[in-house]
Structure 1
């Protein structure tokens, strides 16, 4: 009886030890992490390939044209010329200090690569500045407004008459063509548009006639008018020159008149003597 009780007690103790060993061997559960807010994605680039929808908020802060072109990633040469000619200073001053409106036609790097070798290096500094100003309009033209834009467009290069800085835009159903008389380019993308500034990508450098075109020949002066020839057989009438008359003293005129009267009387006497008296005397 004593042995049965000892065996039972030993079994209970053994089962208790096995239970404790199993419990201690299990890994502790990881503490619960409170759910936090989802991290916001990084802001997207401001560069767009289509115009922003109407009513979209305009980004705050000054407009940075260089940043817009840099984010597009294909306007390295155009950016370099904007900085080298200080045209970028004029653009950003007009946009940010005077609330002006602008349209920029930006040629891509591949557009510059189509120019003949040495084209840009052959230009003087004023010509380079005029070339870049030729790509800038001091007015905002939305993509849909090219259909009603008045040609030629007025660029910052100045005189838009023929053989100078003439720029014409023609809008079709799905494209916009830009012509300078030398270059025919297409607007291939809308880089930026916010109602104040529009930046359009063009596939060619816009070459103005004033710098790259042949000048028209100078107009010859008009010949002097030729006097009409006289009809044959008709002598030319010459108006006689007036004869100057010297005034004569009245007394001298009277003496001359009386002397002439006396001379005529003597002539009559001699004539009468010769005709009537002489034949009688000598007969």
Structure 2
């Protein structure tokens, strides 16, 4: 009887310890791969136009390199395909190549922002387009509670959905294209060149004018005639002196 009880006890202990031993021998989970902004957007399946612009302007590579190879986070505001379709016809085609790049960079902030932190930031918030052409290209955020609105000065839209919200990259859906107000404002005047204080330009002009007509030839001929006349006069005076003696 004692032998039977011992056998049952050993069997029960084996049953309890088997899952633990199996768990300890299980392989560790495979680490997640590098962050890829286009893969995130492709998974959401409504960002075809924005993905194309990210690739054409090389902004996708910039995002991936920064969030995977540095401690600097980023925040992307991704317009849906419907947002681009709702633009006035020909809006993108009217932009220059530089403006298309600025438009894409305007949807990217060089820092990670959670939705909560966007309610406490100091407006305007810098974007990747800030500083180009000596213009601000900033975004303004307002709201309360769980609602956050983003404004460009001419476009305002609520942020509804977070496609990714974990550091170092946040990706938020927006249902309007964030057109910067700088596109409708005149560019600041270019800096004037420094004044030329040495007067070299005017001096060169004066020198050129002075060289044009030369009066040295007549002067030189007159000098030669005066020397010749003096020489003849001296000889005549010498002859007269000899004769008088």
TM-score by length of 2: 0.61
Q: Which of 53, 60, 65 is matched with 2:32 structurally?
A: 60
Which structure has the bigger radius of gyration? 1
Of stretches 106-115 and 152-161 in structure 1, the one that deviates more from structure 2 is 152-161
Residue in structure 2 matched with residue 178 of structure 1 by the alignment: 150
SS of equivalent residue, structure 2 residue 126: coil
Query: Can you give the 5+ residue segments of structure 1 that lack an aligned partner in the other structure?
Result: 1-56, 219-283
CA RMSD, Structure 1 to Structure 2 (Å): 2.5
Residue in structure 2 matched with residue 130 of structure 1 by the alignment: 102
CA distance in 2 between partners of 1:65 and 1:101 (Å): 13
Residue in structure 1 matched with residue 137 of structure 2 by the alignment: 165
Query: Can you give the 5+ residue segments of structure 2 that lack an aligned partner in the other structure?
Result: 1-28, 190-245
Q: Which of 71, 74, 83 is matched with 1:102 structurally?
A: 74
Structure with greater proportional helix content: 2
CA distance in 2 between partners of 1:95 and 1:139 (Å): 10
Aligned residues, how many? Answer: 161
Counterpart check, 1:88 vs 2:60: yes
Q: Which of 151, 175, 185 is matched with 1:214 structurally?
A: 185
Contact 1:190–1:199 (CA under 8 A) maintained in structure 2: yes
Which residues of 2 match residues 27-38 of structure 1 at below 5 A? none
CA distance in 2 between partners of 1:92 and 1:140 (Å): 14
SS of equivalent residue, structure 1 residue 176: strand
SS of equivalent residue, structure 1 residue 167: strand
CA distance in 2 between partners of 1:187 and 1:168 (Å): 12
Which residues of 2 match residues 132-151 of structure 1 at below 5 A? 132-151=104-123
- Offset from partner CA, 1:88-134 (integer Å, 9 cap, x none): 11111111122320000000111111111111011111111110000
Contact 1:190–1:200 (CA under 8 A) maintained in structure 2: yes
Residue in structure 1 matched with residue 211 of structure 2 by the alignment: none
Q: Which of 70, 81, 86 is matched with 1:114 structurally?
A: 86
Contact 1:152–1:160 (CA under 8 A) maintained in structure 2: no
Q: Which contiguous aligned blocks of 4+ residues in structure 1 show a shift greater than 6 angstroms?
A: 160-163
